[in-house]
Every structure is written in structure tokens, then in C-alpha cells.
Amino acid sequence: MNFAVLGGGSWATAIIKMLCENQSKVGWYMRNLDAISYIKQHKHNPNYLTSVTFNTEKLQLTDDINIAIDNADILIFAIPSAFLGTEMKNLKVSIEDKIIFSAIKGIVPETGLIVGEHFNKKYDIPFENIGVITGPCHAEEVAMERLSYLTIACADEEKAHLVANNLKSDYIKTKVTKDIIGTEYAAMLKNIYAIAAGIAHGLGYGDNFQSVLMSNAIREMKRYTKRIYKIDRNINESAYLGDLLVTGYSTFSRNRMFGNMIGKGYTVKSAQMEMKMVAEGYYAAKSAYTIKSNFKKKARTPIIDAVYEVLYNGGNAKKVFKALTEKLD
């Protein structure tokens, strides 16, 4: 099976590093021609995880998404969800016979769907050929080869194990699950909760409040995912709670960083301009709020509501979070 990774950011770079441990050739699509030239010459991604050194003989680099897709059996998408639609407009080859795994943590704006559902509805990819790669795992720690854990979800367990075996190494442990919808929504929601944690930190709330916030967040995630897709899942497993905690607490978390800037008084636009990377939770907050508004049975989501109020309704972060403290237990 031939792999191709689509995306040029930190997650794409980390996944390429993992695959190169197990594959003799890996396709890598990115739009940035200068970055491609730099990697070929210097064996590093000039923009992300610059400490990672690549054996360029293993890389099939291209700025043509069609070449990358045509030469691969398994596609791993690591393009920010906000830009996936734009990238796919350049698609000329068929992806109907491809196995697609998403390392994207967010909602596709054009359809309002998580990535797996998007590929199923828009491109007729059967769910048994769609999978999800989730944490708890920060790309920066993969670069440093610190022990990390990945959860690989797919309805077809054989395909999940295939991808898991090609990502694992001495410093990467993998496990598989069939809960594609739950893990992907959890990966989207934890970015919103990380923004909440960042806002709270920026406002001066301490560790005691953060622990209460995270405790409420995992219960809120459970209520939300239960409305989306009811299945016997243990919300305390690493793919859910673990991924939430690492994203909410880590200094590597882009979403926490974004929230921290908001809490310190940055406007949404100024925080976005200062950050060099996309904070998926910004887009996820709007999508999650919209989706839950259509639930047949309402789910109590005070944290999502608070983040949405600050980011999209111009709510004063200090006042909104003061009100939030009265809704948590």
C-alpha cells in the first residue's frame, strides 16, 4: 500500500516523519513550491517542525494534488478544515477507490460536516474506506521523539490496523477503535475547550478553575457526542479525555494560545493575524454551536456557548467567563 500525505503544516510534517520510519516511499503534497525546494536541498521543512530531518530519497514531493493522489492507495489529509474545500477544487482525478484517513480536527465550512462525513456525502466514499487519526499527540513532541500515543479509527478494523502499524515506532504507540464519528467530533470539540482554557488563563484564572473547566468539558463532550452518534464509548479513554487534556493544558496548543490572547484583550482578528498557524477551534466553535442548535433533544453546552459568544458575538470575555463560572460544578 502506498501512502500520500496532503498538507504542509506541522501535523503533516509529523505524519511524514512517522511514515518514513516504516515506508520506503511516501508521497507528500504541499502547495508551497519554495518549501518543496527547501526540503529537497536542506532535508527540513522550513516552516514547521524544523528540527526534523528527512531522508529525501523516501519522499515523493509534489505541488500537484492530483499526482499525489494518483500515486497512492491511502491518503492522509492534514489540511486545515477551513481550506480543505479550496484544495479539493483542484481535484481532477477520482478518489472513489482510495482509502482516506483524516488528521484534520475540525468541520468543513462548505458542508458543515466533520471530514469523514464530508468525504462520504460529497465524494461517495464508503465509511469502511474512511478513517480518523487522533491523539493525544502534539506534532512538536513527535518531532522531539517523545513518547506519544495515537488512536486510529475506522469501521474496517483491518484498515485501522494497517494505518496504525505504519505510524507506530519506538516513540509512537497506537491503538484502534471503530468509533469514527465520536473520535472525530471529540477531536473537533477539544479545540473549543482548549480555547476556553486559554481565555481563562489570559483572564487570570488559576489551576483550580482550570481543573473544574476540564472536568465540565469532558462531561459536555460526552453529552454532545451522545446526541451526534449514540454508541457505547468510554469518554475517559485517551482518544477523548486524553486528547482534551493535552490540548487544554499544553504550551504547544495553538488553540490554547489563541484563547490566551483573547483573554489578554486581543481582538479575534488581531489574535489570528499574530498567530502563524491556524487555530481550528475558532472555526469549530461556530460549527459546533450551529450543529447543536439543530439537535432534536437539547444538550447543555455552557462552555461551547461561552466561547461562541466571545468569538462571534463580540461578548466581553471577562463578563462571559464570570457568568460561565456560575454554570460549572
- The predicted model scores a pTM of 0.87
Task: Give the distance, in angstroms, between the CA of residue 118 and the centroid of all CA atoms in the same chain.
Answer: 15
The separation between the first and the last C-alpha atoms of the chain, rounded to the nearest angstrom, is 49
Rounded to 10°, the helix 157-167/10-20 angle is: 90
Q: Please answer whether residues 202 and 221 qualify as being in contact, where contact means their C-beta atoms are separated by less than 8 angstroms.
A: no
pLDDT in tens, 154-187: 999 999 999 999 999 999 999 999 888 889 899 9
Domain boundaries, the chain: 3-178, 181-325
Residue 42 has pLDDT above 90, yes or no: yes
pLDDT score at 92: 95
- What pLDDT score does 38 carry? 97
CATH class (in words) of the domain with range 3-178: alpha beta
Which of 3.40.50.10860, 3.30.1600.10, 4.10.490.10, 1.10.1040.10 is the CATH number of 181-325?
Answer: 1.10.1040.10
* Average pLDDT value over all residues in the chain: 93
Among 81-90, 144-153, 224-233, name the one with the lowest average pLDDT. 224-233
Q: How many CB atoms lie within 10 A of CB 26?
A: 25
Question: 115: which residues sit within 8 A by CB, 6+ positions away?
Answer: 77, 81, 84, 102, 104, 106, 108, 132, 184
Q: Judge whether 3-178 and 181-325 match in fold.
A: no
Residues facing 6 on adjacent strands: 29, 77
Report whether pLDDT(200) > 80.
yes
